Amino acid sequence: MRRKLVVGNWKMNGSLVFNAALLAGIKDRVDSRQCDAAVCVPAPYLAQCQTQLSDSGIFWGAQDLSAYDAGAHTGDVSAAMLVDFSCKYVIVGHSERRALHSESNELIAMKVVRALASGLTPIICVGETLEQYDAGLTKVVVGKQIDDVLAMISVEDIEKIVIAYEPVWAIGTGRNATPQIAQDVHSSLRAKLALKNPIAAVGARILYGGSMKPDNAKELLSMADVDGGLIGGAALKAADFLAIVHAAG
C-alpha cells in the first residue's frame, strides 16, 4: 500500500511575513499517520521552514538544484546546500524550468543523479504540452522524459524517486486532467518503472499536478495509481492545502 504524498509548490511566491502565517496555518493540522505532506519553497525561505516545521510532521524541500557539486555556477544552489537546511525533497524538471530555462531531459537527469547522491528525494516532473496532448502524444512525451532519467540512475535508485505527472495544459489554468486521464498516464509511467525494477515500481509514488484543488482532489486521489498531488496555487492558502492533504489521508 503506497502512502499518499501531497507537496505544495510555492513557486516564486511568499515573503517572511506571508510564509510565517501560511506555515503556522498548516503546521499542526497535518496528521502524519494519514499521509505525507511537504512544501517546496524558494531557496531563501528554507531556513524559515527548518525553523518553523522541524517539530511538525510536514517535510520541506526546494524547487530546483544545480546539476553540479560546487564552484563557478553563479546563482545556483547545490544539493549539499539543500541538505544543510534538512530538505527532504527537491522538485526537478518542473515544466516552468523546462520552458523558461530551457532545461533538457539530459540536464534534468543530471540533477536527479545529484539529488540522489546527496540523499534528497527528487520529485521528477513530466508532462506534455496542449499541442502534444491534442496530437495524442502524451505517453510518448512523458515516456521519453522518464526514460531519459531512468537511463542515468541505477535500478536500485528507482525506489528513491517520486514522479509527478503534470500536464502543462493543466498547470495554473484551472483546467485539470480528468481522473481517468491521470490514471491512464500514471499506470503507463509505472509500467516504465516496472521494466527496470518491478518491485520498486509497485512502491513508487506518482503524483498528479495541474490545478488540483479541494473540490477535485478526492476524485483524482481515489484513482489506483494516483499517489498524491503536486499543488501550485492551492498550496498558498492554508485551508485549501489542508483540504487536499485531508482528501489524501
58-62 and 205-209 strand pairing:
unpaired
Give 93 or 232: the residue with its C-beta nearer to ligand PEP: 232
Q: Using the rule CB under 6 A, which residue among 82, 231, 244, 247 binds ligand PEP?
A: 231
Candidates 12-20, 22-30, 178-186, 230-238; binding stretch for ligand PEP (CB under 6 A): 230-238
**Can residue 150 be called a binding residue for ligand PEP (CB under 6 A)?**
no
3-state secondary structure 52-84: HHCCCCEEEEECCCCCCCCCCCCCCCCHHHHHH
Q: Which one is catalytic: 73, 94, 186, 219?
A: 94
Q: Using the rule CB under 6 A, which residue among 9, 52, 145, 197 binds ligand PEP?
A: 9
Candidates 27-35, 57-65, 100-108, 164-172; binding stretch for ligand PEP (CB under 6 A): 164-172
**Can residue 38 be called a binding residue for ligand PEP (CB under 6 A)?**
no
DSSP-derived secondary structure for 105-170: HHHHHHHHHHHHHTT-EEEEEE---HHHHHTT-HHHHHHHHHHHHHTTS-TGGGGG-EEEE--GGG
73 is an active site residue: no
**Can residue 210 be called a binding residue for ligand PEP (CB under 6 A)?**
yes
Active site residues: 94, 166
